[in-house]
Amino acid sequence: MTQTVSINNRQRLQLSALNLPKRLLLGPGPSNAHPDVLAAMSTAPLGHLDPDFLKVMDEIQALLRYVWQTENPTTIAISGTGSAAMEATIANSVQPGDVVLVGVTGYFGNRLVDMAGRYGADVKTISKPWGQVFSLDELKTALETHRPAILALVHAETSTGARQPLEGVSALCQEFGTLLLIDTVTSLGGVPIHLDEWGVDLAYSCSQKGLGCSPGASPFTMSPRAWDRLQQRSGKVPNWYLDSTLLMKYWGQERVYHHTAPVNLYYGLREALRILADEGVENSWARHQKNAEYLWEQLEAIGLKMHVDRANRLPTLTTVCVPEGVDAKAISGKLLQEHNIEVGNGLGELAGKVWRVGLMGYNSKPESVDRLVAALKQVL
């Protein structure tokens, strides 16, 4: 093994240790992680098959079921960010040619359309202007028209701040044998969710919003009905990393190695879930609601308006209308650079028209609102 090749040092940056500003993250996520979560993430790693680590995984599974209010055995964290968990629900449910009906009221509905298409679905869409939601009647008509194998809806649209009501949807789905798939990225932990009560078959979320963790390990769940359908599919799931049958051989009792879990992220997620269970999920929902109402009141007091009707407004993410004549990006830039506060800019239909303000997880507290409103008064 003699090495005669010379070393190329052109990309060998000489860097100092990491030294970053401290920001208050009030955008669409990530939010600031709880300090105890960050501390847990610097715990020395265990091996991914160590009995003590497997116990951490069991705890994550139970607590994810609790925060989602489900008894689904197949409830795990995907070793990737929320979009990977989104793709896991698609990869494990869509078979080529399946009709997948996607409700599009924002950016993430469109992402579901893109993903489902990549897995060979015959994708149909219903849509509404960004910021609105579907009525049960609208969903019923669309189901009757398309008779889809899967109905995919975004419970909490991160791009618009609207909450899609889900009560009664599964009763409509049952008529057509349709699986109900929902995006809970911006709702889990911060907005009431009752997966089993709502008859949801597939759901995904992220760690860095309502759960108050850092991004990278993302909740995923399948109902027994969705699981049974997966076991009957012909051919392998066309995605190895996200194949839930393989994943459950690791997360379940067999403990067969699949991939090397992101150990330290799981530590953080376990800690975030422990803190949330300690508070009580219904108390966390109430806290998010209360602090959001305080935010809306304070923003209205300085003359700002909200984009979404109050009835459909998420407590976790608020779209704030940019006043006429104001350069949205200039303001969010000033908040970041002069006040170390991050808020999100509008996406798609809402680009330049709204700011997106998140009050999620650890950041859902009156102090966040006070600091933001004080800064807004200065920069507006």
Residues numbered 122-161 forming contacts with a second copy, rule: CB under 8 A: none
Residue 23 in the binding site for a second copy (CB under 8 A)? yes
CB of 241 to a second copy, least distance (A): 5
Q: Which is nearer to a second copy, 143 or 158 (CB)?
A: 158
Q: Which is nearer to a second copy, 36 or 122 (CB)?
A: 36
Strand-strand pairing, 122-127 and 99-104 = parallel
Stretch that binds a second copy, among 131-139, 143-151, 224-232, 235-243 (CB under 8 A): 235-243
Residues numbered 179-218 forming contacts with a second copy, rule: CB under 8 A: 192, 194, 196-197, 206, 208, 214-216
Among 22, 231, 232, 301, binds a second copy (CB under 8 A): 22
State how far the Cα of 230 lies from the Cα of 236, in Å rounded to an integer: 10
Residues numbered 253-312 forming contacts with a second copy, rule: CB under 8 A: 257-265, 267-268, 270-271, 274, 277-278, 280-282, 285, 311
Contacts with a second copy, 314-353, as mask; x by CB under 8 A: ----------------------x-----x----x------
Q: Looking at the chain, how many residues does it have?
A: 380
Q: Which is nearer to a second copy, 227 or 285 (CB)?
A: 285
Q: Which is nearer to a second copy, 74 or 214 (CB)?
A: 214
CB of 218 to a second copy, least distance (A): 10
Q: Which is nearer to a second copy, 61 or 105 (CB)?
A: 61
Q: Which is nearer to a second copy, 141 or 289 (CB)?
A: 289
